[in-house]
Amino acid sequence: MDGSDNTDRVLAESEVDLQDLEGRLDKFRKPQDSSNRRFAQGVALVASLGFVLAGCLIAGILLGDYLWQQTGFRGFQLIGALFGLITAFFAGGKLMKPLMKSDD
């Protein structure tokens, strides 16, 4: 009998521990308030914005360099860099547009 009582006690403690763990996991699954969600969106925006800006600039520079090598006209490097810069500004604006909308 003593072994069965001990087993029941251990099972009851395990059930309480499991419920406590489930409660803590629920906190991570859904944000507590909208400020946490807004912060996460801001971090995601900054990370993606950096990759988009760098990608546009690098692509423009590589395109300009390729055209320079094909034609011998060195001005294509400058044109490619400017094209990448302009594209980066438009892409950055498009990424930021949803964040600029009012939540009201």
pTM exceeds cut of 0.75: no
Annotated domain spans of the chain: 1-30, 33-104
pLDDT in tens, 26-84: 777 765 566 777 787 778 888 888 899 999 999 999 999 999 999 999 999 999 999 99
pLDDT score of 47:
86
Would you call 84 exposed, middle or buried from its count of C-beta atoms within 10 A (0-12, 13-18, 19+)? buried
Rounded (5°) CA angle 31-37-42: 150
